[in-house]
Amino acid sequence: MSIIEKALGKLGDQSKEDVSTPPAQEQVVQIEPLVVKAEAQTHASSPSPSTPTTTSRAVNLDFKRLGARGFLTNGDERGKLAEEYRMIKRPLLANAFGPNPVLKGNLIMVTSSLPGEGKSFSAINLAISIAMELDRTVLLVDADVAKPSLPKYLGFQAEHGLLDVLRDDKRDLSSVIMRTNIEKLSILPAGKTYARATELLASDAMDRLIADVANRYSDRLVLFDSPPILATSEASVLASHMGQIVMVVESEKTPKSALREALSRIEGTCDVVSIVLNKSATPTAGDYYGYYGYGGYGKQAE
């Protein structure tokens, strides 16, 4: 069975073509519902222009602000959101550092079929979750080079980043990485916008950078927040560099046809693809219910 058939099987009925039947338990591991106040949801979709920023190479994450936007924070270790991300990260970490690690398993791309399905939200929460709780360091890479969103969500500005390192072989990776006030979390910003970004991501320079990251930081998880697969060509190019891919599916919204097409575009690039089911919405008075599931397939599920 192809990875596409497996993925659609695991998703059961949670994507758009079939929303009436609840998914079978064995298809998607269902995790406690996340309740995010409607107010926080509103803030998240329209970042305020007065966003606190920093231009130095240190990012001071404002946990109060992150929490208000529905993100995981340092006081959240026992909350539902933290528990959900614990379930999502466990198999990723096992693939990266367990007794039978997958090739380049510490390089993980978070992607989805279409815009707005929650890639950046999931990548940020995963990064915070791993960096806060475990003895693992995390490098969060803003690989959505055409439309970077880490600065707006995390509240920082960065002049240089990934694209600058790729364009200038004299610029060292470590000179653009930003540390944060979570000791084990650092960020590689996207860098200056560049029209031929896809070519850069497909270049030998990118191969060298990925090899450098994977070797120099072999004890570190490197999470790439990526563009949507169907809207850009960068995501498929990036996929070929990864050891693992996390595919975010927006519950009851992502059309199965889009997911099928997205999976087919990355088939053959990376053996280990996992699914995070995001934003399953059952609104009640004033609250927004989000909800995640995790289903791993590919090498792990053989």
Contact positions toward Mg ion, by CB under 5 A? 119-120, 149
Q: How many CB atoms lie within 10 A of CB 264?
A: 13
13 closest CA partner among 36, 30, 35: 30
How far is the C-alpha of 269 from the C-alpha of 216, rounded, in Å?
Answer: 23
How far is the C-alpha of 32 from the C-alpha of 86, rounded, in Å?
Answer: 12
Q: Which of residues 8-27 bind ligand ATP (CB under 6 A)?
A: none
Does 66 bind ligand ATP (CB under 6 A)? Our answer is no
81 closest CA partner among 67, 92, 63: 67
Compare residues 105 and 227 and give the one whose CB is closer to Mg ion: 227
Compare residues 164 and 250 and give the one whose CB is closer to ligand ATP: 250
Does 41 bind ligand ATP (CB under 6 A)? Our answer is yes
**Three-state secondary-structure class, residue 248:** strand
Compare residues 151 and 295 and give the one whose CB is closer to Mg ion: 151
Q: Which of 116, 157, 175, 207 binds ligand ATP (CB under 6 A)?
A: 116
How far is the C-alpha of 145 from the C-alpha of 100, rounded, in Å?
Answer: 33
How far is the CA of 45 from the CAs of 39, 54, 263, in angstroms?
10, 21, 27
x/- map, 148-187, ligand ATP, by CB under 6 A: -x--------------------------------------
Q: Which of 12, 118, 155, 243 binds ligand ATP (CB under 6 A)?
A: 118
- Contact residues toward ligand ATP (CB under 6 A) are 36, 41, 44-45, 70, 112, 115-121, 144, 149, 228, 278-279, 290
